Structure formats: structure tokens, C-alpha cells
């Protein structure tokens, strides 16, 4: 895990709660519903979905993924939601 993650966390108690993407993906079971946010730069790979891709190479499971985004362009705001099912 990238050590720079821990530099961003000010509360020492929270540092002990950070796990790798692979461990987080191991908690996700078949038929779960997942909510994911898009709060990174456009085009950046999110680590949890990528870990789920790796998990799917060795384990068969199906999840519902719900994604919500907020896009601000000038003085207008747009909300968008999507639902993916694999």
C-alpha cells in the first residue's frame, strides 16, 4: 500500500482502519449491492473496482454496482446516476 495514504489521515485511530484494496475486495460477496463514488480525477482507475476485477479472475460472483456523480460546469450543476449489473 502506498505510504502517502497515511500522511493524509490526521486522526491516528483511523490509520488502523485502512486496508489494502485486495482485502476490501475480499469482503465483497456474491449478490451484494455496492455504492461507489466517482470523486477522483476523470480517467483515474479506482483501486477497489480494479481489485474486484482481479478477484473475478479466480472467483465467480455477481454484484450490483450503483454509481452517483456530481459534475459542475460553470454556473450549472448536473447530477447523474447509473446502475451496473454484472
Q: What is the pLDDT of residues 33-54, one digit of tens each?
A: 988 776 666 656 678 888 999 9
Q: Average of pLDDT values for 43-68?
A: 85
The answer to whether 62 touches 86, Cβ cutoff 8 Å, is: yes
Band (pLDDT 50/70/90 cuts) for residue 81 is: low
Place of cell 469482503: 27
Does this model's pTM top 0.85? My answer is no
Answer yes or no: are the C-beta atoms of 79 and 69 closer than 8 Å.
yes
Q: Are the CB atoms for 17 and 11 separated by under 8 Å?
A: no
* pLDDT above 90: residue 25: yes
Amino acid at each position: 500500500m502506498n505510504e502517502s495514504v497515511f500522511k493524509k489521515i490526521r486522526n491516528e485511530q483511523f490509520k488502523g482502519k485502512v486496508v489494502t484494496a485486495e482485502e476490501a475486495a475480499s469482503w465483497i460477496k456474491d449478490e451484494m449491492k455496492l455504492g461507489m463514488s466517482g470523486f477522483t480525477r476523470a480517467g483515474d482507475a479506482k483501486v477497489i473496482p480494479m481489485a474486484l476485477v482481479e478477484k473475478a479472475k479466480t472467483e465467480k460472483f455477481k454484484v450490483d454496482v450503483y454509481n452517483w456523480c456530481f459534475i459542475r460546469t460553470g454556473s450549472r450543476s448536473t447530477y447523474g446516476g447509473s446502475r451496473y449489473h454484472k
